[in-house]
Amino acid sequence: MTPPSRLRPYRLAAAVAALLLLVAVAAATVFGVRLLTESNRWVERSHQVIEQLEASQSLLAATQAASRGYRLTAHPSLRGEFHRAGPQALDAALELVRITSDNPSQHARAQSLLRQSTQQIERMQELVDIQDREGQKAAVAAMRVDELVARMHGVNAASEAMRAEELRLLAARRATNERNANLLLGFVLLSLAVSLATLWTLLVSLSRENRHNRNLEREARGALAELQRAQTMTERLSAQRWAISEYTGLLQSAQNLDEAMELTSCTFERLLPHLGGQCYLARASRDFLESRASFGRPAISSSDALPPGDCWALRRGQPHHNRAGGGVRCAHLEHGTSLAAISTLCIPLSAQGETLGMLHASGPVDGGEEDNDAAIIELMGEQLALAIANLRLRETLRQQSLRDPLTGLFNRRYFEESLRREMLRCERRRLPLALLVLDIDHFKSFNDSQGHSAGDAVLAHAGRCIASLVRAEDMACRYGGEEFTIVMPETDAASAVARAEAIRRAVSQQTISHNGRTLGAVTVSIGVATFPQDGVTPELLFEVADAALYRAKAEGRNRVLHAAAGIG
């Protein structure tokens, strides 16, 4: 007869102990899950505050951009955009105040940010009202740039302080969350190990409970894994939103299209390294698009240049997504390559009803539920389109402010700025500088007899001759009327006179045709002055060169005369 087990007297105690351990595990699991849920709620609250702060700043920046654009262009759509974005910015700031009510320090910062945003928008509204009542010039005159910049800096400083505090809270909450998860997992694993060891020594009849406990263990681990996966996904989305926000801010500071393209390429490769593609920009003629930037390793190649009709996104004016060959294929994609395992996306870049380009991306098909690549690319496309439109508008305004539209030469404003700058540079380097002042002979009588359109043809002819004979470092300008100026850095008197003679001969020797008839001979008189011999200030140097010009006219015109005797 088999002797009774020596553990029989302890079975009840072991069962009770095992039961108590299991109860403790269950209670700890429930408490830990509730604790983790609460921690996650606070983490989500931090993300919500950061997202709302970014939305508030973005809307305030949009309000300021619309106000500034309206002052510069007086376009009604920008005024409407200002009145739309302003209330939205205040609503976003109010929402930020609301959601930070459970944090006194952040609540105070949010209230401060609301006050500063309100003051900034009220000031912008005053400028818009002045422009509506008194006109664009009055609004520009009333604008106090230092005040607006100081206020915007105050808003940015308050925003950065609030963001830094919330990021600190987020890091602390994540650390607490991870610590609680690790403690819970350790306690559960340790308790289950002891329980299983105790139950193993009990009767075979307890094996069913043993299997049940193992199932509980697997479920607990699965719940923790799912929780960690959700947390990882949340962190990934937050990082993507932050990168898009940073990309938007950097785009607003880009000085030209090349910088915008480089920034787009770097951001795309950082956010979506598994995809590749190209960014196309439309030519001025709008009949073709050319690739200006490429990024990553595309799954299928696309043409470097394409007509708008080759892309379904450009035809329809909306994104065109082809997933595993389940859509219409764009003609600019490489022919002969199967789309069965490829996903392609074309995003039209449009702003204010004008197609500026197209963003194309391709990669392997990913059937995961967490795939948000298309949303990221579309968001990047929207921001890039706005940046391209702003850069082109800025370049157009800059050219209009510096160039004379008839001759293509620089205007008087650019001449005055350049002359002063180049004289200071040559003075520091102890180098000479020459100034040529040109005037078309008998232009008034020619203009009166031949008509203003013929006079414009003469001015354009003189401008072309001057532009063709100056160096790259020279600055040729139309000073006003029929008078031109040329600033020639690092040029002595003899070289300046020789260049002036070449210009005089070129103007007089070429034939001008206008409206099917040949105009009469055109000559110019040129006065030359050099720095520092003839003047040490821009005003004095110009007066000396202008006086030399009038002497040349008095001595018979069609000649070059230097301010100093014996040269000319």
Active site residues: 482
Rounded CA-CA distance 89/56 in Å is 5
**CA-based nearest residue to 362, from 376, 343, 381, 348:** 343
The alpha carbon torsion through 377, 378, 380, 385 (nearest 10 deg) reads: 140
User: Rounded to 5 degrees, what angle do the CA atoms 272, 276, 281 make?
Assistant: 110
How would you classify residue 451: left for phi > 0, otherwise alpha for psi between -120 and 50, otherwise beta?
left
Q: Dig out the tokens for 502 from the structure.
A: 């070449």
Radius of gyration of the chain (CA): 37
For 513-532, b where at least 16 C-beta lie within 10 A, e where not — what string? ebeeeebeebebbbbbbbbe
Would you give the DSSP letter of residue 366? -
Rounded CA-CA distance 188/343 in Å is 44
Spatial contact of 538 and 520, defined as CB atoms under 8 Å apart: no
Rounded CA-CA distance 26/19 in Å is 10
**H/E element, 483:** strand 483-489
Rounded CA-CA distance 542/419 in Å is 9
Rounded CA-CA distance 89/248 in Å is 17
Say how many CA atoms lie within 13 Å of 103 toward its Cβ.
18
Residues 6+ apart with CB under 8 A from 18: 195, 198, 199, 202
Residue 354 burial (CB count, 10 A): 13
Helix pair angle (412-429, 373-402), 10° resolution: 90
**H/E element, 15:** helix 8-73
For residue 3, whether the previous peptide bond is cis, meaning omega lies within 30 degrees of 0, is no
Spatial contact of 60 and 116, defined as CB atoms under 8 Å apart: no
Q: Dig out the tokens for 199 from the structure.
A: 């139950």
Angstrom distances, CA of residue 312 to CA of 255, 295, 323: 31, 21, 14
Q: Dig out the tokens for 187 from the structure.
A: 């306690």
Rounded CA-CA distance 415/541 in Å is 13
Residue 17 identity: A
Residues 6+ apart with CB under 8 A from 381: 319, 347, 348, 349, 359
**CA-based nearest residue to 109, from 42, 62, 169, 58:** 169
Rounded CA-CA distance 63/78 in Å is 9
